[in-house]
Amino acid sequence: KNEVEQSPQNLTAQEGEFITINCSYSVGISALHWLQQHPGGGIVSLFMLSSGKKKHGRLIATINIQEKHSSLHITASHPRDSAVYICAHMYSGGGADGLTFGKGTHLIIQP
């Protein structure tokens, strides 16, 4: 059974700080998604990656296939980055049950 663990569960930081959110999974990978959910809002896909690194603006996502670990980094964090960040894993050879989600990391960036 695939397990997806995220850390930390909650993170409060000051504006401008470098943020790292971690995600570990237990079985082989097909794709890993990082999602963002604002309070009361829908879920937006930030990245989908199966190897290496992707960058979009101030957001960077990396994945280490051997270690079964991915990180989401936010540089020069801003209060508008405050949201729940969710790691979701789709694994090779898995059944038809789609994505396995982490519990999410609740990020608050204080001005």
Partner 1 sequence: GAGVSQSPSNKVTEKGKDVELRCDPISGHTALYWYRQSLGQGLEFLIYFQGNSAPDKSGLPSDRFSAERTGGSVSTLTIQRTQQEDSAVYLCASTRDRGLSIFFGQGTRLTVV
- Taking CB under 8 A as the criterion, which residues in 16-45 touch partner 1? 30-31, 33, 35, 41-45
Distance from the first to the final alpha carbon of the chain: 41
Q: Is 104 left (phi over 0), alpha (psi -120 to 50) or beta?
A: left
Cβ of residue 41: shortest distance to partner 1, in angstroms?
8
CB of 60 to partner 1, least distance (A): 18
Contact indicator for 99, 33 with CB cutoff of 8 Å: yes
Q: Using the rule CB under 8 A, which residue among 56, 66, 67, 97 binds partner 1?
A: 97
CB of 103 to partner 1, least distance (A): 4
